[in-house]
Amino acid sequence: MPKPSILIFTGIFPPAIGGPATYTARLADELQKNGFKIILLTFSPAPKNFNQQFNFPVFRIPITLPRLIRFWRAINFLIKNKNEYDLIYTHGGPFDSGICAIIAKLFTGKKIITKVTGDNAWELAREKNWTNLEINDFQKHPPLLRSKIFAKLRSWIIKKADYLVVPSEYLKKISMNWGVAKNKIIVIYNASEKLPSIKTSRKQLGLNEKNKIILSAGRLVPWKGFDILIETLNLLPKEISLIIAGDGPDKTHLLKLIDQLKLNNRVIFTGKLNSKKLAEYFSTCNIFVLLSRYEGLAHILLEAFAAEIPVIASDCCGNPEVIEDEFNGLLVNPINQTLIAKKINQLLTDHNLQRKFIENSKQTLKKFTWEKNITQTIKLIKKFI
């Protein structure tokens, strides 16, 4: 009897770095180990012979191609190879892998499981400056015709899937607002990835050896709250420095803000980091702070836990599903700079509290394991094949 076959279709995959790429590679590998035949389709490019490191075939469509040509090739691949797989599992935005899979389904009849990690319609509207609304308000009243069109398209694509996987109860509630039936949604928490065990000195990274260091990380976009964190730094003692790991469209604005506040000697941008380099910065910082006003479930918080770094996070979206205030970290209002500064000072100076959070976060990580993730994923897949 042939192995059940799953085609995983993702917009991002190694050698791209970051949570989504790492997660999809691990998911495919784990499913293969559990008796499934895996085929992976992606828009992510790779150097020659890079695919040889995987135990399953990887097919790549150049992301440099115009969008319509890229989509046409993906749809054609899904239709042409329909006898090679039993189920499509899409990971990423509905506006890339999602829409291609739905169109292909019209010709193949294959069932689709779609995983989404956020609201791509809102993200697009924010990045294009079509709206200043926060995500919860956007769900009720998307402004401008173009925002309404993308919100409708997002909902239509996701509702056409046979099942929806989300990484948090928060995002489950959001997706129900899109019209997805409650009984077609499952929350499968992301699994924590243990960062490489690397110890490095601040001197090796060119950091001040005497300062206390706050680390934050993520894509440089408005809702991540890096502007608030930079402004909050101005309320903190001068011997406290800030490192921001990541890149994105908001970098120019953030650099101007740093210059205006004369904080150039206290803020460092590292650019986007691979897991090895991120581990080096985790090993040299005192605390990790995330002030994002929008997260499906912040995988970086799990990485901070795994690196045994005490955490402060915003009290919104999926963060409270990871952080229990005063138990394994501190939750703060993401725009109250006075409170944020107070909590940062508290955590930096209270070593007993730091130790408490580190120990308790180890218990929290037991909720976010690959064993649980794969068990739930396989149970879901077996509903369809």
pLDDT tens-digit readout, 255-268: 999 999 999 999 99
Cα 130 from chain centroid (whole Å) = 23
Tally of structural domains, the chain: 2
CA distances 317 to 109, 291, 323, Å, are: 35, 11, 11
Strand 58-60: give its sheet, edge to edge: 58-60, 37-42, 5-10, 87-91, 111-115, 163-166, 185-187
Domain match, 118 and 158 both: yes
Ranges of H-type helices in 218-369? 226-233, 251-260, 275-282, 299-306, 337-349, 351-364
Compute the distance between CA of residue 158 and CA of residue 181 in angstroms, rounded to an integer. Answer: 11
pTM of the model: 0.92
Q: State mean pLDDT over 232-255.
A: 96
State both tokens at 5: 């076959």
Residue 199 lies in a domain: no
Compute the distance between CA of residue 76 and CA of residue 258 in angstroms, rounded to an integer. Answer: 48
Residue 192 confidence class, pLDDT cut points 50, 70, 90: confident
Residue 385 confidence class, pLDDT cut points 50, 70, 90: confident
User: Could you tell me which residues come within 8 angstroms of residue 223 by beta carbon, excluding any fewer than 6 positions away?
Assistant: 126, 134, 135, 292, 293, 294
As a whole number of Å, the CA-based R_g of the chain is 21
Whichever domain contains 306, its CATH number is 3.40.50.2000
Residues of 107-135 as b/e, b for ≥16 C-beta within 10 angstroms?
ebebbbbbbbbbbbbbbbbbeeebbebeb
Domain match, 113 and 167 both: yes
The answer to whether 334 touches 312, Cβ cutoff 8 Å, is: no
pLDDT of residue 123: 93
Domain match, 283 and 303 both: yes
Residue 201 lies in a domain: no
Residue 200 lies in a domain: no
The answer to whether 5 touches 88, Cβ cutoff 8 Å, is: no
- Percent of the chain scoring above 90 in pLDDT: 83
Compute the distance between CA of residue 73 and CA of residue 13 in angstroms, rounded to an integer. Answer: 18
Compute the distance between CA of residue 349 and CA of residue 372 in angstroms, rounded to an integer. Answer: 36
Residue 258 lies in a domain: yes
Place of tokens 């012979």: 49
CA nearest 354: which of 328, 325, 331, 334? 328
Q: State mean pLDDT over 271-290.
A: 92
pLDDT of residue 1: 61
State both tokens at 221: 């976009």
Domain match, 228 and 184 both: no
- Enclosing domain of residue 93: 5-191+369-381
Domain match, 19 and 136 both: yes
pLDDT of residue 201: 79
Domain match, 168 and 232 both: no
CA distances 224 to 217, 218, 219, 294, Å, are: 9, 7, 7, 7
Domain match, 249 and 355 both: yes
Domain match, 242 and 156 both: no
pLDDT tens-digit readout, 31-73: 999 999 999 999 989 998 899 999 999 999 999 999 999 999 9
Residue 142 lies in a domain: yes
